[in-house]
Chains A and B, each alone.
Chain A
């Protein structure tokens, strides 16, 4: 186990990478939908926190983990609807609105969650081994001995990929982000669709929060997502607005996050400070690579991302 070149070590890192990456993956998929529709949502961190709290609170009182996950979905969506109102209807600055919602979400969740801090979870998503599949050597223990929210995310990634790239509504979604005027001319209701995708994106961010508070670390504590929402925003760029690549990025990130402690435990002679930095260095590298305008074009950034759509106004 402590031999870092052994298969057992690698298996253990990968098995830990999947749940660590799943919270980020949900938030990342949500942000991806939102940005594909042309709206930048920097409120992901706040929505994750509100989802983590809402999910835990409902699971705490009903003792039903699934009800908690549904509540997280609803709470994330509700917070995102404020963003939609501000940036779609009122055409507020998307960056400012998103930042405000992150501050609002982290403050409000801390305030509302005061009585829930440190309470043990009466219901949570435990690890469930999938019959047969979990017996596959190595792969089984990496992929199929996880919690239910991980399994849902396995389905969600191909589903969203198929939706975005292979369906008519998906084409419309991409049109919203590339050229809302054209979408409008095609007869699409730009405002209503953007509302829908922003809210759906926030709802997924909420589930991402619940993937922490109901699955990997059952319980609630203030600011428990600890910046993972921001990483999700960065990973959308890394994933070039593609659900499959975003999933790869989220798991890579999860692997770096969970792997640092295993490397330390194995006595790898690298400073733990460098290991702690790894996830963030990785994020910065991603952002630098994706920041140049030409690079953004080449990797397919939605052209109208961040711009409010006003009919009769030329882009």
Chain B
């Protein structure tokens, strides 16, 4: 574990700030507000004004990461958010610790340490940090804690997550058009609702574009083991899959696809540099949008505990550029669909609108009815077209 502290206030940061246009920041902040009113989560709206003080002591923000920042995956995406925070807001000091195990002892120690060091905001970026975050937060009532991807809140603990299913659905539309064997493979980490929702959204996209295609799921039961992820992808490729996507923290499944001349869909970050011949596109995160808004609220004193679930329209999630090997008509279709999500015409709720059947063909969501937040957040069944076991 390596701890690094990034400072602020020097001329370098000023220069970087200048590069980000004011419009970007305003769009991000305004988008967040709109999303919250759509999602119906409770939160005060008084945050759109620029309230960051330029004088006085810096606000200290600490991040707890589950894997190394260089993985071009989940943690990398959060670290990009941290950097965006430093570059956009004046007077912010950030620090982070990488590869913090999710066991209660290690996670609590690291979180407590950050709180004791006087960080006003501590962000914990993996599901397994949920209980440790709640535990530590009890002892530091004046510190703001944000737990990513969990469901437990407290007076000083918020949760935040994004609707990555929206770009996953569009990536599925593209993948469904690109498969020749009508067999797609999904290397998945753990059978939890977050991962199951992603698999379902991808499959709904695939089947919309190509009703004959199926998506086969293999569980690795690890977030980060490139060798296992690769073996899982190889097993899917041996089974006849010709497009591989994944919910893991490395690009190993895409690299396995490239080695076999198959296609892949990345995740977390634009993974095309790691497997340029395979990666069609990647559903990606822009955590900076959320982190900047969070710090502004804390600085302005308007922050209150909430459950944030941002979508494509808010700019929190996005789709990486579609690769050049995708034919023009498929690319146009993908971009048209992406635009519908960006302007809010389509959302996770339109993706998960009935009729939806489960694997056995039994109707789970009737025609015209959208799934509720609760049903989505506890989803434990696969839609029709997925091959695999949602409760292995």
Contacts and interface: CB of A to CB of B under 8 A. Distances in A.
Given A221-B250, A264-B219, A271-B392, A117 B274 contact: no
B167 interface: no
A222 B98 CA distance: 11
A108 to B, nearest CB: 11
B240 A226 contact: no
A224 B227 contact: yes
Interface stretch (A58-66, A211-219, A294-302, A306-314): A211-219
Interface stretch (A94-102, A180-188, A239-247, A254-262): A254-262
Given A118-B71, A224-B226, A258-B231, A218 B218 contact: no
Contacts of B388: 264, 267
A20 B224 CA distance: 17
A150 to B, nearest CB: 15
A265 B239 contact: yes
Contacts of A1: 238-240
A47 interface: no
Nearest to B76: A118
B235 A262 contact: yes
Interface in B175-224: 191, 216, 218-222, 224
A100 to B, nearest CB: 17
A258 B219 contact: no
A212 B230 CA distance: 11
Contact of B230 (A216, A223, A225, A269): A216
A127 B388 CA distance: 30
Contacts of B239: 1-2, 262, 265-266
A205 interface: no
B71 A261 contact: no
B335 interface: no
A291 interface: no
Nearest to B185: A265
B72 interface: yes
A261 B236 CA distance: 8
B232 A261 contact: yes
Contacts of A257: 228, 231
B255 interface: yes
Contacts of B2: 110-111, 114
B251 interface: yes
B273 interface: yes
Contacts of B259: 126
Contacts of B225: 226
B311 interface: no
A265 B216 contact: yes
A155 interface: no
A12 B70 CA distance: 33
Contacts of B67: 222
A261 B99 contact: no
Contacts of B240: 1
A20 B68 contact: no
A72 to B, nearest CB: 16
Contact of B255 (A110, A114, A219, A225): A219
Most-contacted residue by chain A among B221, B230, B231 (CB, 10 A): B231
A263 B251 CA distance: 23
A272 B219 contact: yes
Most-contacted residue by chain B among A228, A262, A273 (CB, 10 A): A262
B221 A276 contact: yes
B234 interface: yes
A261 B239 CA distance: 11
Given A120-B274, A258-B234, A217 B227 contact: yes
A117 B70 CA distance: 5
B102 to A, nearest CB: 14
B387 interface: yes
A144 to B, nearest CB: 18
A88 B234 CA distance: 44
Interface string A195-230: 000000000000000001000111101111110100
Contacts of A118: 70-72, 76, 250-251, 273-274
A94 to B, nearest CB: 26
Contacts of A126: 259
A261 B392 CA distance: 13
Given A118-B274, A258-B234, A272-B219, A218 B227 contact: no
B221 A272 contact: yes
A92 B259 CA distance: 46
Interface of A: 1-2, 12, 16, 20, 23, 110-111, 114-118, 120, 126, 212, 216-219, 221-226, 228, 257-258, 261-262, 264-267, 269, 271-273, 276
20 contacts: A1-B240, A2-B239, A20-B227, A110-B99, A117-B70, A118-B251, A120-B273, A217-B227, A217-B252, A219-B251, A221-B71, A221-B250, A222-B67, A223-B99, A258-B234, A261-B234, A265-B235, A267-B388, A272-B191, A272-B221
